[in-house]
Structure 1
Amino acid sequence: MKANIKAISYYLPEAVLSNDLINQEFPEWEIEKISSKTGINSRHISADNEFSSDMAVKAAEKLFAEHNIDRSTIDYLLFCTQSPDYFLPTTACIIQDKLGLNTSIGALDFNLGCSGFVYGLSLAKGLIAGEMAKNILLITAETYSKFIHPKDKSNKTIFGDAAAATLITAEKGFCSIGNFIFGTDGRGAENLIVKQGGMRFPVSSENEDIVDEFGNVRNDKNLYMNGAEIFNFTGEFVPKLIFSILEKSNLTKEDIDLFIFHQANKYMLNHLRKKIKIPEEKFFIAMEGCGNTVSSTIPIALYEAQKQRRLTASKNLILAGFGVGYSWAACNLII
Structure 2
Amino acid sequence: MKLRFQGKRITGLLSVVPRHEQSFVEDMKLFNFPEARSRKLMEVMGYDRHRLVEEGVCVSDLAVAGLQHLFESGKLAREEIDALILVTQTPDYPMPPTSNVIQGRLELKQDLFCMDINQGCAGFIVGLMQAFLLLEQPAIGKVVLINADVISRKTSPKDRNSYPLIGDAAAITVVERDPEAGVIHANIKMDGMRREALMIPAGGMRLPHSEQTALLEDVGDNNLRAQDHLRMDGSAVFNFVQVEIPPMVEGLLEQGGMDIDAVDWFLFHQPNRFMLQKLADKIGIPHAKMPMNVVEKYGNSSGVTIPMAIVENLRGPLLAQRFQVCLAGFGVGLTWGSMLMELGELGFCDMIEI
Distance 1:51 1:38 in 2: 28
- 2:201 paired with 1:181: no
The normalised TM-score by structure 2 is 0.89
Partner of 1:278: 285
TM-superposition CA deviations, 1:84-108 (whole Å, max 9, x none)? 0111101100001122221101001
- 1:67–1:325 CA distance, 2 compared to 1 (3 A): farther
- 1:129–1:247 CA distance, 2 compared to 1 (3 A): farther
- Aligned 1:149-228 pairs, distance under 5 A: 149-171=156-178, 178-207=184-213, 208-228=215-235
Aligned partner (choices 303, 326, 330) of residue 318 of structure 1: 326
Aligned partner (choices 12, 25, 33) of residue 7 of structure 1: 12
Distance 2:58 2:273 in 1: 27
- 1:59–1:78 CA distance, 2 compared to 1 (3 A): same
TM-superposition CA deviations, 1:141-178 (whole Å, max 9, x none)? 101111112311221111011111110011489x8671
Please tell me whether the aligned partners of residues 4 and 177 of structure 1 are also in contact (alpha carbons under 8 angstroms).
Answer: no
Partner of 1:233: 240
Amino acid corresponding to residue 6 of structure 1 in structure 2? T
Amino acid corresponding to residue 199 of structure 2 in structure 1? I
**3-state SS of 1:4 partner:** strand
Amino acid corresponding to residue 221 of structure 1 in structure 2? D
> Percent of aligned pairs with the same residue?
31
Distance 2:318 2:178 in 1: 23
Partner of 1:45: 52
TM-superposition CA deviations, 1:194-222 (whole Å, max 9, x none)? 01111111112123433233321112111
Distance 1:233 1:152 in 2: 22
Distance 1:145 1:176 in 2: 38
User: Which consecutive residues of structure 2, in runs of 5 or more, have no partner in the other structure?
Assistant: 1-5, 344-354
**3-state SS of 2:162 partner:** helix
Deviation at 1:23, TM superposition (A): 2.5
**3-state SS of 1:302 partner:** helix
Equivalent residue pairs, number: 334
Two-structure CA RMSD over aligned residues (Å): 2.1
**3-state SS of 1:153 partner:** coil
Amino acid corresponding to residue 306 of structure 1 in structure 2? L
- 1:29–1:308 CA distance, 2 compared to 1 (3 A): farther
The normalised TM-score by structure 1 is 0.93
- 1:244–1:50 CA distance, 2 compared to 1 (3 A): same
Distance 1:244 1:315 in 2: 20
Amino acid corresponding to residue 29 of structure 2 in structure 1? Q
- 1:116–1:107 CA distance, 2 compared to 1 (3 A): same
- 1:120–1:195 CA distance, 2 compared to 1 (3 A): same
Aligned partner (choices 17, 23, 30) of residue 22 of structure 2: 17
Distance 1:324 1:53 in 2: 22
- Aligned 1:256-271 pairs, distance under 5 A: 256-271=263-278
Query: Which stretch shifts more, 11-20 or 49-58?
Result: 11-20
**3-state SS of 1:321 partner:** strand
Partner of 2:348: none
Distance 1:45 1:193 in 2: 20
Amino acid corresponding to residue 191 of structure 1 in structure 2? A
